[in-house]
């Protein structure tokens, strides 16, 4: 038996309970002892059981998708990993058969299953995963930090989809993924990184992660300040993480002609903006979902091996496995970076 946090009922909260350790492994499946997990906004939706969760989540379900672990057992035909490997994981299990998967676009697979959302997840002492999903770490990074590699992949996808080398880049929204995007941009040669964030704690973290300029949109005219910082041209690239309609509308004004905006933020309502700004400025808009399989993971590997990432700074809280409710209280307050929970030694 193992301990796991399970969404048992259609109401707020999770239940810590004993469940069976996954026993039957497919020929290409791997059993992993979970070392650490980290919390995501999706987990908050499920914890609170809001309108989105009510439509998507079908209890009982083991929750959680961001994790690191140690391989303890492998299926009969597994060749990519071995017992003892320290791993993180791509959390989208894709079909491999649809047109998108066959075109190398697994991140938009027609039949994606997300662990901790559609199938049992990682807030448990053990989890089984397809071997193809696993990222074997050889960089020597503290395993307690490896659980954040999945959202780091979102940051890499968003920040590096467009050319950022020697470019001016605005990061719109400095939650954990936005903060990691700043880190990625700093390591990838961006000329000037401009962070835009309302939360004071996260503005300070943005500076620590490497932002050259930090703007509080509640106190400053964002468009005027960005233009001032860019010789009145605007930024080359905007990496959007806020999910705020007004903020996105303003971004169209401070993105330079021919510039690009990659959009990861989730918007609660329909967004209206002047499409003619996109047309006449020649802007490129790109919607980000998941991580490119497995290009973004290869980029993560290279970034880790530079030893320049500041993952220890983006992880602001480390808790024990029995402190899950406290972890969600911290998330609700939003005065945090990533919240990591230690599961096993």
Residues labelled as active-site residues: 42, 45
| Angstrom distance (rounded) from CA 268 to CA 323 | 30
At 192, give phi and psi (nearest 5°).
Answer: -140, 130
- For 58, other C-beta atoms within 10 Å of its C-beta total 10
The 3 state secondary structure assigned to the chain is: CEEEEEECCCCCCCEEEEECCCCCCCCCEEEEEEEEEECCHHHHHHHHCCHHHHHHCCCCEECCCEEEEEEEEECCCCCCCCCCCEEEECCEECCCCCHHHHCCCHHHCCCCEEECCCECCCCECEEEEEHHHEEECCCCCCHHHHCCHHHHHHHHHHHHCCCCCCCEEEEECCCHHHHHHHHHHHHCCCCEEEEECCCHHHHHHHHHHCCCEEECCCCCCHHHHHHHHCCCCCEEEEEECCCCHHHHHHHHHHEEEEEEEEECCCCCCCCCCCHHHHHHHCCEEEECCCCCCCHHHHHHHHHHHHCCCCHHHHEEEEEEHHHHHHHHHHHHHCCCCEEEEECCC
CB 172 within 8 A of CB 222: no
Token pair, residue 79, equals 């060749």
Measured CA to CA, the distance from residue 207 to residue 26 in angstroms comes to 46
Residue 250: closest CA among 299, 199, 215: 215
């Amino acid at each position: 038996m193992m301990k796991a946090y399970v969404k048992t009922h259609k109401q707020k909260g999770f239940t810590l309970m004993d469940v069976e350790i996954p026993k039957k492994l497919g020929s290409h499946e791997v059993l992993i002892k979970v070392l650490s997990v980290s919390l995501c906004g999706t987990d908050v939706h499920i914890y609170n059981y809001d309108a989105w969760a009510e439509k998507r989540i079908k209890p009982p379900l083991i929750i959680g998708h961001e994790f690191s672990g140690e391989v303890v057992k492998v299926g009969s035909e597994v060749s990519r990993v071995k017992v003892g490997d320290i791993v993180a994981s791509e959390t989208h299990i894709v079909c491999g058969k649809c047109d998108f998967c066959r075109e190398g676009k697994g991140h938009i697979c027609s039949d994606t299953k997300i662990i901790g959302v559609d199938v049992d997840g990682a807030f448990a002492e053990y989890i089984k995963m397809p071997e193809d999903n696993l990222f074997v770490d050889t960089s020597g990074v503290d395993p307690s930090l490896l659980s954040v590699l999945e959202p780091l992949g979102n940051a890499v996808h968003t920040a590096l989809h467009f050319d950022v080398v020697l470019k001016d880049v605005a990061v719109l929204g400095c939650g954990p993924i936005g903060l990691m995007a700043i880190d990625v941009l700093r390591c990838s040669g961006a000329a000037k990184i401009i962070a835009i964030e309302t939360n004071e704690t996260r503005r300070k973290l943005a500076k620590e992660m490497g932002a050259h300029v930090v703007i509080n949109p509640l106190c400053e005219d964002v468009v005027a300040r960005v233009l001032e910082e860019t010789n009145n041209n605007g930024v080359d690239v905007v990496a959007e993480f806020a999910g705020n309609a007004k903020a996105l509308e303003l971004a169209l004004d401070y993105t330079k002609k021919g510039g690009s905006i990659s959009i990861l933020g989730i918007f609660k309502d329909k967004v209206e903006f002047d499409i003619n700004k996109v047309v006449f400025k020649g802007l490129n808009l790109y919607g980000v979902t998941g991580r490119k399989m497995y290009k973004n993971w290869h980029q993560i590997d290279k970034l880790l091996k530079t030893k320049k990432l500041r993952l220890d700074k983006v992880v602001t809280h480390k808790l024990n496995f029995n402190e899950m409710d406290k972890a969600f209280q911290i998330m609700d307050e939003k005065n945090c970076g990533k919240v990591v929970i230690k599961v096993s030694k």
